Amino acid sequence: MLFKSTSGRLLSSYLRCRCGPSVTARSASSFEQVDEDVPPWQLPEEAEYELARDLLRIPGTSQQLFLIQPRIKIGPNRNYLTTPQLQLEENKTLVETLGWKIVDHIILPVSSYDSTHVFGRGNFEKLQEAVRSCRTSASAIFFGSNTLKKKQLAFYRETFGMPVFDRYRIVLEIFRAHAKTKEAKLQVALAELPYFRALLGGIGEVPGSSIQMAGSGSGQTRDLQRQIMRDREGKLRTALDKIRSNRAVLRRGRKKNEINSVAVVGYTNCGKTSLIKALTGDVTMKPENKLFATLDVTSHGGRLPNSVSVLYVDTIGFISDIPTSLIASFAAVLEEIGEADVLVHVRDVSHPDTKSQKETVLKQLRELALPEKLLNSMIEVCNKVDMLPEIEKSPEKVSAADNAIFTSATANTGLYSLRERIEAVLLGNTGLTEKQIRVPQGGAELSWLYREAHVHFLEADVTDSQFLVAHVTISPSSFARYIHQFRKIQVLTR
Ligand SMILES: Nc1nc2c(ncn2[C@@H]2O[C@H](COP(=O)(O)OP(=O)(O)OP(=O)(O)O)[C@@H](O)[C@H]2O)c(=O)[nH]1
Ligand SMILES: [Mg+2]
């Protein structure tokens, strides 16, 4: 209740500023509640968010959910790689990640996602019966698939008289709960807007809310709601643009200094953070056994066998049955993945749904329109092999590419092979080459190479003790500069 009156007060404040005196409130009390400490021209970000939630009647507290798990029997939406039982398990994990509970569930065959009921008459009656029997324990309905249409949400809410969450909403709630940095919070807020906007039109009047205006009708209320969303989007984008331009500066610096990056992607909870931690020894990284533990794009320095330094980029996990636009709204992820030199796709091959998870990631990556070269050279990593029985540890058994690398991030196995593969792909994608260059002992050439290239090791030149042979990895542009500066060089291998 406190929640509602806060929102009512803030909306009133907002109305005064945006609409001037021509818009009046039906309920004088909502205006009387205006807190003069809140400047009418500026809503605090959190309050605006709460307002949006209030408009949609999305409860903020912990929920006891009745889960409806749809089962698609035929048609293009049927996923033959998974089962309703596995989808149900994942939905339970999503809910538990929030600290909420599933009190009961039902698996029902879908009649049509285009119809309001979604299920056929007989199944719908079964559903009504099941919800009725757990009426006292359930506080909300969780429709365990994708995004419900406005009319479907409204219908289910009215039929069962409780809030209804779809899968998109649950994932957004998790994002919100896990976002720690300012950038992540802003991106989550931005990701929510299309969802709110899509639903607003279907809501009209907000029963039980103080948000009702005299003579305005639902159309005007909706216009105002949309205006609030537009204003919020503008503010969020401006704030994000600032952060993004800082990131771009950092990336340009990295490119200038020829620091290569390796983007690590994969289904949520597959072990991306753990793998980067194992590859880099970065003890500050905190892998967690929960979905969407990572919501910030972070970079971690590591070295390849040829001693080339790279930055491993940790990213947000993918998940099935969610519009790709959700990930796409995390522009930082896209920018970092798109500009990476190597893409590593990590899989949890111990997961019963590993094949379907792989397809989800590949499909969503394709939708993100990443550079062809990056996608075609992507390295598949089959992680968590320590959890697999010996007999299952082969590419065919886990539907992996023949050249996939098998790792255990926690038992530190397969890491050297992975580094070697990253090195090979990096050389192929960037034009970096390995060379042996003859340099005078103690000369400027060697210092230059140490500064501008990656020197693996030096050996004595058997033909002349005044010289050394430097084994280096060098980019085409650095090599051109080296030739320009030290014209009398001798390159032994190319
Ligand atoms: N047994 C085993 N567990 C692993 C392995 N790699 C990761 N884990 C565990 O899997 C869980 C998830 O690991 P994370 O590294 O956080 O996974 P993630 O892909 O970064 O997850 P999100 O950021 O949530 O998408 C943690 O409990 C890890 O300890 C592995 O190779 N073997
Ligand atoms: Mg992670």
Is the model's pLDDT at 10 over the cut of 60? no
Atom of ligand 1 nearest to the CA of 387: 1
| 184 CA from centroid of ligand 2 (Å) | 14
Number of structural domains in the chain: 3
**Residue 444: which domain range?**
431-493
Which residue's alpha carbon is at the smallest distance from atom 30 of ligand 1? 384
Boundary residue ending a domain (223, 255, 287):
255
* CATH code where residue 123 lies: 3.40.50.11060
| 264 CA from centroid of ligand 2 (Å) | 10
Q: Are 320 and 356 in contact (CB under 8 A)?
A: yes
Ligand 1 in contact with 414 (CB < 6 A)?
no
Is the model's pLDDT at 460 over the cut of 50? yes
If asked whether residues 242 and 267 sit together in one domain, one would say no
CA nearest to 327, candidates 367, 376, 379, 354: 367
| 292 CA from centroid of ligand 2 (Å) | 7
How confident is residue 200, by pLDDT bands cut at 50, 70 and 90? low
How confident is residue 41, by pLDDT bands cut at 50, 70 and 90? very low
Give me the pLDDT at residue 56, please.
Answer: 55
Label residues 151-170 b or e (16+ Cβ within 10 Å = b).
Answer: ebbbbbbebbebbbbbbbbb
Residue 127 DSSP class: H
Which residue's alpha carbon is at the smallest distance from atom 32 of ligand 1? 384
Give me the pLDDT at residue 352, please.
Answer: 94
Q: Are 377 and 263 in contact (CB under 8 A)?
A: no
If asked whether residues 389 and 467 sit together in one domain, one would say no
Give me the pLDDT at residue 241, please.
Answer: 86
Identify the residue with better confidence: 182 or 194: 182
Q: What is the arithmetic mean of pLDDT over 64-87?
A: 86
Is the model's pLDDT at 36 over the cut of 60? no
Boundary residue ending a domain (428, 448, 469):
428
Residue with tokens 């719908």: 124
Ligand 1 in contact with 268 (CB < 6 A)?
yes
| 134 CA from centroid of ligand 2 (Å) | 36
Ligand 1 site-directed mutation target among 93, 97, 288, most atoms within 8 Å of CB: 288
Identify the residue with better confidence: 219 or 191: 191
Of 1-15, 309-323, 338-352, the range with the lowest mean pLDDT is 1-15
* CATH code where residue 268 lies: 3.40.50.300
If asked whether residues 441 and 395 sit together in one domain, one would say no
Of 45-49, 208-212, 267-271, 484-488, the range with the lowest mean pLDDT is 208-212
Ligand 1 in contact with 289 (CB < 6 A)?
yes
If asked whether residues 387 and 447 sit together in one domain, one would say no
| 423 CA from centroid of ligand 1 (Å) | 24
If asked whether residues 383 and 422 sit together in one domain, one would say yes
Distance CA 396, CA 399 (A): 5
Give me the pLDDT at residue 14, please.
Answer: 44
CA nearest to 131, candidates 113, 106, 166: 106
Which residue's alpha carbon is at the smallest distance from atom 17 of ligand 1? 271
Distance CA 140, CA 402 (A): 46
